[in-house]
């Protein structure tokens, strides 16, 4: 996974894994439309979310910002 914590969309250092999200943030992520290619468990294990703009990134989308 991308070791950078910067969001591709907004440029802020806000990318967090599932385990780093608080309870309210996790509930919000559960309600976000996810890609049909990933199950809920795969999203939790392999994705990160920006807590500013809620951009979702998976390990295949590692980027240099």
pLDDT tens-digit map of 7-57: 989 998 889 999 999 999 999 999 988 767 888 899 999 999 999 999 999
Among 9, 56, 61, residue whose Cα is nearest residue 28: 56
Quote the pTM value. Answer: 0.80
In 3-state terms, what secondary structure has residue 19?
Answer: helix
| Token representation of residue 29 | 């992520």
What pLDDT score was predicted for residue 8? 87
CA separation, residue 50 to residues 18, 27, 44, 61 (Å): 11, 14, 14, 14
């Amino acid at each position: 996974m991308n070791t950078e914590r910067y969001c591709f969309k907004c440029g802020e250092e806000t990318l967090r894994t599932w385990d780093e999200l608080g309870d309210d943030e996790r509930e919000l992520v559960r309600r976000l439309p996810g890609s049909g290619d990933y199950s809920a468990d795969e999203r939790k294990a392999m994705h990160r979310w920006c807590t500013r703009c809620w951009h979702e990134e998976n390990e295949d989308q590692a980027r240099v910002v």
